[in-house]
C-alpha cells in the first residue's frame, strides 16, 4: 500500500512536525504528485509564521517537482508516471475557498511536463502590463521591459518569459550576477547600487518603446531606485511582486500575483516545450539544503536569510 507523509504546521511559528498523513484522492480536475523535490517559496516560511492561515494543523507548499501518482477523471493531459513541475497554489486555495484540509492535490493546469524549478510571473492579467504571451518562435517586437531584480528567482523567470515573447529586456542586479541575467536573455544589465542606474537604463531603452517595469523585488526600499528609473523613463506601468504603498502619480502600479487563470496559456502551451527546447533555462541554480521533509525547517531558515541568485530546494 502506498503511504504518504507530510510536514504539518500545528500552530503559528511552531516547528514543523513530520508525520504520516492520509493519501490524497484527486478531485475530477486534480492530479496527485509524488514529490521528488520542493523549492522554498518566500511565502512558505511566512505561512509557517501564520500568514493567511485560518485553521491548524495545515500543510504548506507551492513549488514542486515530481511524478504523477494519480489523476482525476477529467484530466487527459497528464498520465501516471509522467514527470511534472508545478505550483500547488496553497496560498490561493486558502484565500479563495478557505480550504483548510491538508492536501497534496493540485489543479492540473498549473503543471508542465518537465522537471525544473520555475516561478511563474504576473505579466499577463487583464488591466495589468498585458505583455504578449511567450512562444517558441517570438520575433523581436521593438518594445522594452525593465526587470528590476533580474537575479532573483522571480526576476529570472520574468526576463525569460518577456524575451520569449519578443521584448528586449533591461535588467538590474549586483555586478556579480550580470552574466546570469544575460544568460536568461537580458540585453543590458545595470547594478542597482550604482548612482547613475536610472539614467543608464533610460539611455539603454534608446528608441525602443518602454512598455513597463517589473519590480521582482517589490519591497518598499526598492522604490528608492525604482522611482527614479520610472521618472527618467517618463512614467508608465509598474508591476510589483509585493503589495504597494503610495507612489508618485507618474507611476501606474499594480500588485501582481504569479497565480491566476492568466497563467493557463503560459503553463499549458509554453513551459513544457520551452524547457524541452532550451528556450527556458532552469535558472537560478538550486541550492539543495537537505533531503527529506525533516530538512524543511532548516530550508525555511535558509530562505529567510540572504539568498542571491539561488533557489532553495529540499530533495524528498
Ligand X SMILES: NC(=O)c1ccc[n+]([C@@H]2O[C@H](COP(=O)([O-])OP(=O)(O)OC[C@H]3O[C@@H](n4cnc5c(N)ncnc54)[C@H](OP(=O)(O)O)[C@@H]3O)[C@@H](O)[C@H]2O)c1
Q: Which residues bind ligand X (CB under 6 A)?
A: 41-42, 119, 149, 151-154, 173-174, 177, 192, 216-219, 221-222, 241-242, 256-258, 307-309
CB 207 to ligand X: min, Å: 27
CA distance 146 to 210: 8
Least Å distance, CB 31 to ligand X, is 22
* Rounded Cα–Cα distance for residues 176 and 13 (Å): 35
**Rounded least distance, CB 82 to ligand X, Å:** 26
* Comparison of 24 and 284: residue with beta carbon closer to ligand X: 284
Compute the residue count for the chain. Answer: 316
| Closest CB to ligand X among residues 202, 302 | 302
**Smallest distance, ligand X to C-beta of residue 176, A:** 7
Q: Residues of 234-254 as b/e, b for ≥16 C-beta within 10 angstroms?
A: eebbbbbbeeeeeeeeebebe
Q: How far is the CB of 153 from ligand X (least distance, A)?
A: 4
Decide whether 24 or 212 has the Cβ nearer to ligand X.
212
Residue 7, strand partner residues: 18
Least distance to ligand X, CB of residue 287, Å? 10
- Is 71 or 229 the residue whose CB approaches ligand X more closely? 229
CB closer to ligand X, 37 vs 216: 216
Nearer to ligand X, 55 or 176 (CB): 176
Label residues 275-314 b or e (16+ Cβ within 10 Å = b).
beeebbbbbbebbebeeebebbbebbebbbeebebbbbbb
Strand arrangement, sheet containing 17-21:
17-21, 4-9, 58-59
Ranked by CB distance to ligand X, the top (closest) residue is 152
Neighbouring CB atoms inside 10 A of 100's CB total 14
Question: Taking CA 161 as the corner, what is the angle to CA 305 and CA 182, rounded to the nearest 5 degrees?
Answer: 70
Q: Which of 174, 172, 127, 178 has the alpha carbon at shortest distance from 148?
A: 172
Q: Cβ of residue 218: shortest distance to ligand X, in angstroms?
A: 5
Instruction: Select 12 or 193, whichever has its Cβ closest to ligand X.
Output: 193
Q: Which is nearer to ligand X, 193 or 209 (CB)?
A: 193
Alpha-carbon span 235 to 254, nearest angstrom: 14
Contacts of residue 29, defined as CB under 8 A and 6 or more positions apart, other chains included, come to: 72, 74, 75, 107, 108, 109
Helices (H), the chain: 43-48, 90-97, 153-163, 178-184, 197-205, 223-232, 264-265, 272-277, 296-304
Strands 4-9 and 17-21 come out as antiparallel
Closer CB to ligand X, 53 or 71, in the complex: 53
Residue 147 CB, shortest distance to ligand X, in Å, is 11
Instruction: Tell me how far, at minimum, the Cβ of 143 lies from ligand X, in Å.
Output: 23
Amino acid at each position: 500500500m502506498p503511504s504518504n507523509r507530510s510536514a504539518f504546521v500545528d500552530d503559528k511559528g511552531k516547528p514543523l512536525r513530520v508525520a504520516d498523513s492520509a493519501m490524497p484522492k484527486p478531485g475530477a480536475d486534480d492530479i496527485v504528485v509524488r514529490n521528488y523535490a520542493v523549492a522554498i517559496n518566500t511565502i512558505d516560511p511566512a505561512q509557517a509564521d501564520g500568514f493567511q492561515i485560518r485553521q491548524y494543523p495545515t500543510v504548506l507548499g507551492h513549488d514542486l517537482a515530481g511524478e504523477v501518482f494519480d489523476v482525476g477523471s477529467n484530466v487527459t493531459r497528464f498520465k501516471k508516471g509522467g514527470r511534472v513541475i508545478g505550483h500547488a497554489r496553497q496560498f490561493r486555495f486558502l484565500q479563495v475557498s478557505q480550504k483548510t484540509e491538508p492536501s497534496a492535490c493540485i489543479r492540473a493546469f498549473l503543471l508542465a511536463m518537465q522537471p525544473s524549478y520555475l516561478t511563474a510571473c504576473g505579466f499577463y492579467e487583464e488591466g495589468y502590463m498585458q505583455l504578449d504571451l511567450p512562444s517558441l518562435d517570438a520575433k523581436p517586437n521593438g518594445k522594452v521591459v525593465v526587470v528590476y531584480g533580474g537575479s532573483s528567482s522571480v526576476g529570472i523567470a520574468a526576463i525569460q518569459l518577456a524575451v520569449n515573447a519578443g521584448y528586449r529586456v533591461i535588467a538590474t542586479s549586483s555586478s556579480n550576477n550580470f552574466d546570469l541575467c544575460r544568460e536568461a536573455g537580458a540585453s543590458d544589465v545595470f547594478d542597482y547600487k550604482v548612482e547613475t542606474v536610472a539614467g543608464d537604463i533610460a539611455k539603454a531603452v534608446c528608441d525602443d518603446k518602454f512598455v513597463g517595469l517589473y519590480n521582482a523585488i517589490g519591497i518598499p526600499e526598492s522604490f528608492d531606485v525604482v522611482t527614479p528609473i520610472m521618472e527618467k523613463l517618463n512614467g508608465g506601468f509598474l508591476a510589483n511582486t509585493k503589495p504597494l504603498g503610495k507612489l508618485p502619480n507618474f507611476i501606474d502600479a499594480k500588485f501582481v500575483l504569479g497565480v491566476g487563470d492568466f497563467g493557463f496559456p503560459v503553463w499549458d502551451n509554453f513551459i513544457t516545450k520551452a524547457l524541452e527546447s532550451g528556450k527556458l533555462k532552469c535558472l537560478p541554480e538550486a541550492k539543495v539544503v537537505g533531503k527529506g521533509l525533516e530538512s524543511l525547517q532548516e530550508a525555511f531558515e535558509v530562505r529567510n536569510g540572504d539568498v542571491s541568485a539561488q533557489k532553495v530546494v529540499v530533495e524528498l
